[in-house]
Structures are given as structure tokens and as C-alpha cells.
């Protein structure tokens, strides 16, 4: 038997609303208040100095919005984002999606819909974040493999070794220095003046 899905709780969170003063903002604010969500309205843009937290939620106007309103690159919104859509013009919809909408609300806003949009946006954001971290991990692993391959090639050239022997030497040096193979590979590439040295943070 499947487990019951817990009811999402947004109490205590903050919503950032990027929209000009309008009755729809008032409608959203009323629904947010019922959910225990405080809100702040920003127009014409969201200031880069706004203090952000992991509890934030974002509503933004897809009809009059543009990239310069936000302190993030398109597609990199660091919180669940809900596009407020009145115009279904293809260009406007494309912009809303490019910004990284996790859910949307159609204008005009009535007495409901915000809770559902928040639930969907929050779940979509969690999945988006998980995929981002997974991709970053895969890229990191690829970078490390390329670094090891470059160090192996350096040893092959310097000591006239086969690929197998060069890699064995790399592993031996790493064990003797008590560092990872990747760190030893970075040291070797740096020492030999490799073209793609990757500096550790």
C-alpha cells in the first residue's frame, strides 16, 4: 500500500512578487496570508541586494517581464518560481519558460489556485535542483578523468612509459603522498606545465 502524501506546509515562508501594483497582486496576497506566507512586492524589478533565503518563493509577471528585472541569469532562479500569465502570445510564453517557471497561474487571479501552484512549483524546483546537482557531479567526474588522462600522458612522454605503466606510477605517487589520484594528477600536470590545469578551490 502506498504511503499517504503529506500536505505541503508553507507557513512562515516568504513570497517575492515581481508585478506592478494590481488587483491580482491583492488576490495573491490574500491567498498567501491564508497559507501563513508573508509577501513582498517589487516593481519594476527585484533588487540584487534583496536578502534571499531557502524559504523564498517567487511570483513574476510573464506579460511585462524582462531579463533585467532579476539578479539571476535566465533559467537560474534559486527558488520555486511561478509565472503569472495573461497573454498567451508565443514570445511571452517562451520568455516565461526561459526564465525557468516551475508552475504558472493564469490571469485573472480569483480566490484560489495559489496553493496548487505553490505545491507544483516546489516539487518541480526540487527535481530541477536535484538534476542540476547530478549534472554538476557528472561534470566534475569528467573533469577529474580528463585530468588523470592528461597526467598519464605527461608521465608517458617524460619517462617514455606505456599508458599502463604511467598510470601505475601515478597511483604509486598518490599512495606515497597520501593524496587522491586526482590531486596527484593535478600536481603532475601543474609541474609539467599542462595546458589545462584545474586549480582546486
Q: Supply the pLDDT for residue 188.
A: 87
Q: Supply the pLDDT for residue 138.
A: 77
Q: Supply the pLDDT for residue 105.
A: 97
At 198, the pLDDT band (50, 70, 90 cuts) reads very low
83 phi and psi angles, rounded to 5 deg: -85, 135
Mean pLDDT on 90-105? 94
Domain boundaries defined on the chain? 14-112, 135-191
Mean pLDDT on 60-78? 93
Please report which residue ranges of the chain form alpha helices under DSSP H: 23-34, 90-99, 114-159, 163-177, 181-191
pLDDT at residue 52 is higher than 90: no
Would you tell me how many other CB atoms lie within 10 Å of the CB of residue 119? Answer: 16
Domain at 14-112: CATH code: 3.40.50.2300
Maximum separation of any 2 CA atoms in the chain, in Å = 76
pLDDT at residue 197 is higher than 50: no
CA 30 to chain centroid, in Å, comes to 29
Mean pLDDT on 36-62? 87
**The CATH classification of domain 135-191, taken from the options 1.20.140.10, 3.30.1490.100, 3.50.30.30, 1.10.10.10:** 1.10.10.10
At 34, the pLDDT band (50, 70, 90 cuts) reads very high
Do β-strands 38-42 and 81-85 pair in parallel, antiparallel, or remain unpaired? unpaired
CA distance 98 to 158: 49
Arithmetic mean of pLDDT over the chain = 87
Amino acid at each position: 500500500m502506498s504511503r499517504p502524501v503529506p500536505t505541503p506546509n508553507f507557513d512562515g515562508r516568504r513570497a517575492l512578487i515581481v508585478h506592478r501594483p494590481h488587483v491580482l497582486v491583492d488576490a495573491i496576497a490574500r491567498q498567501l496570508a491564508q497559507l501563513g506566507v508573508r509577501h513582498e512586492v517589487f516593481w519594476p524589478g527585484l533588487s540584487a541586494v534583496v536578502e534571499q533565503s531557502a524559504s523564498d518563493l517567487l511570483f513574476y509577471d510573464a506579460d511585462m517581464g524582462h531579463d533585467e528585472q532579476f539578479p539571476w541569469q535566465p533559467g537560474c532562479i534559486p527558488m520555486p518560481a511561478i509565472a503569472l500569465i495573461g497573454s498567451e502570445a508565443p514570445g511571452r510564453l517562451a520568455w516565461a519558460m526561459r526564465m525557468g517557471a516551475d508552475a504558472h497561474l493564469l490571469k485573472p487571479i480569483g480566490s484560489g489556485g495559489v496553493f496548487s501552484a505553490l505545491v507544483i512549483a516546489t516539487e518541480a524546483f526540487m527535481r530541477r535542483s536535484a538534476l542540476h546537482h547530478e549534472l554538476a557531479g557528472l561534470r566534475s567526474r569528467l573533469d577529474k578523468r580528463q585530468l588523470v588522462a592528461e597526467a598519464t600522458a605527461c608521465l608517458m612522454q617524460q619517462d617514455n612509459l606505456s599508458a599502463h605503466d604511467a598510470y601505475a606510477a601515478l597511483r604509486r605517487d598518490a599512495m606515497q603522498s597520501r593524496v587522491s589520484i586526482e590531486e596527484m594528477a593535478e600536481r603532475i600536470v601543474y609541474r609539467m606545465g599542462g595546458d589545462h590545469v584545474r586549480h582546486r578551490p
